[in-house]
Each structure stands twice: as structure tokens, then as C-alpha cells.
Amino acid sequence: MHIVSYINVGLNWSIPGMMKKDTIGHYVLTNVGTLGMQQAFAPLCPPMRSLGLSCCGKVRDVPLMIEGHDAPQIQQIVTLTSTGDHRFGDAAMFMPL
């Protein structure tokens, strides 16, 4: 895997039937909520050459105070965690606005 990754990304050669040139920069989204987990961090996998990874957790009901209501309202929330590879850019690009 590392040899194929080096040939494709390091040398920028296409490998017929496997990888095209310039395939770096994709983003991986995975769902750990289906496994019953509220949150998890996806590990970076160097041969994938992915810019970042995000994990969606389990949807859960949480009481929250909503503006204009006197009592807490039950809302569904989900936790999203992101992991970014610093080799592709500054960590600030992964921060929400």
C-alpha cells in the first residue's frame, strides 16, 4: 500500500486500473452512530492521502432551553468530530465559523 501510494502521490504517476494522477485532497465521512457511539475520532490513514475525516455520532434527545419558551424543549442533536491532516493545510481550515 505504501509503495502504491508513493508511486501515485509522491511521483504523481497514474496506475492503470487503480489510481489516477492528482487523487489527493478527498474527504472521508463516516458514521459511528450506527454502532451506538456518541462520538469517535477517525484515525488518519496515510496511504489514503485524505485531507480530513469526520465522524457522525448517535442522534440523541437532549433538553435545551429555546429562546421564547419558558421550559426546556427536547431537541435531537448529533456530535460531529473532525480530524485533519496538517500536511495538507493549516488546522484553522477545519474550525467551524
Average pLDDT over residues 78-92: 74
CB burial string 72-85: b at 16+ within 10 A, e below: eeeeeeebeeebbb
| Euclidean distance between CA atoms 51 and 56, whole angstroms | 17
Does 63 have pLDDT greater than 90?
yes
Delimit the domains of the chain by residue range: 24-88
pLDDT band at 71 (very low <50, low <70, confident <90, very high): very high
| Euclidean distance between CA atoms 86 and 78, whole angstroms | 26
Q: Which long-range contacts (CB under 8 A, 24 or more apart) does 34-43 make?
A: 38/79, 39/79, 39/81, 40/81, 41/81, 41/83, 42/81, 42/83, 43/83
Residue-wise pLDDT for 3-61, tens only, equals 776 776 677 777 777 666 555 557 788 889 989 899 888 887 766 667 788 899 999 99
